[in-house]
Amino acid sequence: LAWSVLVGGPLLAGLLWCHILSIFLVMDLMGLWDCGRLTICNKLCYAVGGAPYQITGCALGFFLQIYLLDVAQLDPFYASIILFVGRAWDAVTDPIIGFMVSRSPWTRFGRMLPWIVFSTPLAVVSYFLIWYVPVIEDGKVIWYLVFYCLFQTLQTCFHVPYSALTMFISEDQKERDSATAYRMTVEVLGTVIGTAVQGQIVGMANPPCILAPGDNVTTEGLNSSLLLGQEKTAYMIASGAICSIYILCAVVLFFGVKEKKGKESPRPRSELMSFWQGIGLVMGHRPYVKLVMGFLFTSLAFMLLEGNFALFCCYTLGFRNDFQNILLVIMLAAMLTIPFWQWFLTKFGKKNAVYIGTSSVIPFMILVVCVKSNLIITYMVSFAAGVGVAAAFLLPWSMLPDVVDDFQVQNPDSKGHEAIFYSFYVFFTKFASGISLGISTLSLDFAGYITRGCTQPENVDITLKVLVSAAPIGLILIGLVLFRSYPIDEERRQGNRKLLQEQRENEADSETDSTELTNMV
């Protein structure tokens, strides 16, 4: 197992990186993306910084629930508490960290990058300890709760500054959109790596299920106990590999990206506002509220699917030994179609991309629960569903900079709130996902979920079908209805671009006049 990780893991990652780099080069040479003043190297280094969040998030989202239930063997009630409290805590820390980042002083490395550098070492240690089963049985719940919350806090210190960094790599909308497409592609690649590393390593040490009472389980029980210990080791090996990738990506981001301070207004900075004043300012911007509410429901739908899909594949579809490969197919399809959605939104507009891209996954959510258990059909459905997942990854982060630009046009005297905008979007989605995961795990408990059972009661199968199909579809439809009132179309977006350019030119002229007057004096 260790040899396969050391040899196969880097080989797979290298092949994926070569493939995605070739896509970037071809699309830039074809002129589909305008590089402007940001080189391919700049964009790639910036994009690599988004991989740690997705790699760890994918591993936690797909595997933490089944790990707590079947490997750590916690009661579903306590597992639901850990999942809910961890996500809720993560959501609460996002606006707080965002406010702290917005008040951070500029250094010679920038304002965002120091946060990323200092949070990385502690984050990887806490992540590794999440996947360790402590010896003390009575302390398991506290162990997982503490390290899960700690990791979420440290990851927030990484991801909120990184998200806001979009506004400081360039002042041009086209450059930011292009860099965001690079970032989303690499982030989806990160989900592929997270799924591949975690799923393939853990899948190689998958212990047998527990038979029903009354069967001859003496020998099987001994084998199961031995293989369960191997599965615990496999989870630790996988977490160690992911921690190494996390550190590597942070190093590439720090040395490959230069944070641009931009032109400061001669007026006093608004970062001296209190926390609640900053919240009131950004939440009072109507386009931002409508965008966040629309994506809140669509993101929640995909998070609900992500959190329960591994259990659905294992118990409802009966693919206990293949679920990690099914998850990998979804992420590979999402990675390969990110460039298509980037082309689509530049050609037909971002709102049209939201409607078509997000709704495209609905037929496949219906099909996966209606068709009888068939591995080939499941793979085909999973690949098609990955196309919709790609749109869900790309579009929110591509549209948030437009809202920030619109805010700056309407509030030219207010500066330094980029991190708050990004952190509140993450806050709402994470808090809602925490509630959904907690409720879904409790629902399985009430339905009679059997830990490591070879089969589950009929109520569990029905519950899993609702959690991966009916509930996500309803949330997606609500999100699309809310998104109809989002006011920033292509015409307004281009108008904001021109107005911002005029503001920057006026500020530059004012600074030039002030400098000349000072020299004369």
Instruction: Output phi, psi for 453, to 5 deg.
Output: -70, 145
Q: Are 290 and 243 contained in the same domain?
A: no
Asked if the model's pLDDT at residue 293 lies above 50, the reply is yes
Residue 314 within a domain = yes
Q: Residue 176: which pLDDT band, with cuts at 50, 70 and 90? A: confident
> In whole angstroms, what is the distance from residue 133 CA to residue 130 CA?
8
The reported pTM is 0.66
Model confidence at 4: pLDDT above 60: no
Q: For residues 308 and 393, state if they share a domain.
A: yes
411: in domain: yes
Co-location of 73 and 137 in the same domain: yes
Which range among 14-28, 139-153, 175-189, 450-464 has the greatest average pLDDT?
139-153
Q: Tens of pLDDT along 96-120?
A: 887 788 777 777 777 888 889 899 9
Per-residue confidence (pLDDT) for residue 128, from 0 to 100: 93
So what's the pLDDT on residue 150? 94
Q: Within 10 Å of residue 223's Cβ, how many Cβ atoms?
A: 12
Q: How far apart are CA 489 and CA 227, in angstroms?
A: 56
Whole-number average pLDDT of the chain: 77
137 lies in some domain: yes
Percent of the chain with pLDDT over 70: 79
Q: Is 288 exposed, middle or buried (0-12, 13-18, 19+ CB in 10 A)?
A: buried
Residue 236: is its pLDDT beyond 80? yes
> Is residue 516 domain-resident?
no
- Rounded Cα distance between 276 and 282, Å, is 10
Q: What percent of the chain has pLDDT over 90?
A: 8
CA dist., res. 373 & res. 211, Å (int) = 21
Q: Give, in degrees to the nearest 5, the angle at Cα 378 between 372 and 384.
A: 130
- Is 177 found in the same domain as 299? no
Window from 17-26, 80-89, 343-352, 433-442 with minimum mean pLDDT = 17-26
Cα separation of 299 and 389, whole Å? 10
90 and 171 inside one domain? yes
| CATH code, domain carrying 104 | 1.20.1250.20
Residues 378 and 448 reside in one and the same domain:
yes
299 and 233 within one domain:
no
Q: Please calculate the CA angle 277-278-280 and round it to the nearest 5 degrees.
A: 65
Give the mean model confidence (pLDDT) for residues 437-452: 79
CA distance 340 to 26: 13
**324 within some domain:** yes
> Which residues face 210 on adjacent strands?
453
Q: What is the mean predicted confidence (pLDDT) over 305-330? A: 80
| 206, two tokens | 């998958």
Please count the residues of the chain: 521
> Which residue type occupies 374?
N
Q: Which has the higher per-residue pLDDT, 297 or 413?
A: 297
**Count of domains in the chain?**
2
2 has a pLDDT exceeding 50? no
Location of structure tokens 């305008």: 34
Q: Report DSSP state, residue 371.
A: S
428 belongs to a structural domain:
yes
Amino acid 278: pLDDT:
65
Judge residue 155's burial from the number of C-beta atoms within 10 Å of its C-beta, 0-12 exposed, 13-18 middle, 19 or more buried.
Answer: buried
Q: Which of 152-156, 272-276, 358-362, 502-506 has the lowest mean pLDDT?
A: 272-276
Q: DSSP letter at 107?
A: B
Q: Which domain holds residue 429?
A: 275-488
> Span 309-333, mean pLDDT?
80
Contact 359, 483 (CB under 8 A): no
**Phi/psi of residue 332, each to 5°?**
-65, -45
Q: What is the pLDDT of residue 273?
A: 56
Higher pLDDT, 97 or 397: 97
Are 316 and 401 in the same domain?
yes
User: Considering Cα of 508, then 510, then 513, then 516, what sign does the dihedral take?
Assistant: negative
Strand partners, 453: 210
Give Dmax (Cα) for the chain: 97
pLDDT beyond 90 at 438: no
Q: Is residue 244 located within the same domain as residue 98?
A: yes
Amino acid letter at 86? G
Q: What is the DSSP string of 151-218?
A: HHHHHHHHHHHHHHGGGGS-S-HHHHHHHHHHHHHHHHHHHHHHHHHHHHHHHTT-PPPBPPTTS--H
Give the pLDDT confidence of 366-393 residue by residue, as tens digits.
Answer: 888 887 777 888 888 788 888 887 887 7
Residues 325 and 252 in one domain: no
The pLDDT value given to residue 254: 87
Over residues 251-280, the pLDDT tens digits come to 998 888 887 765 444 444 444 556 567 677
Q: What's residue 153's pLDDT?
A: 92
Number of helices followed by number of strands (H, E) in the chain = 18, 0
CB 376 within 8 A of CB 364: no
**93 is a domain residue:** yes
Decide: 467 and 308 in contact? Cβ < 8 Å: yes
Q: Looking at the structure, do residues 462 and 389 belong to the same domain, yes or no? A: yes
Residue 187 within a domain? yes
Tokens for 298?
């669509």
**pLDDT at residue 30 is higher than 60:** no
Examine the domain organization and report whether 446 and 317 are in the same domain: yes
- Mean pLDDT within 42-56: 88
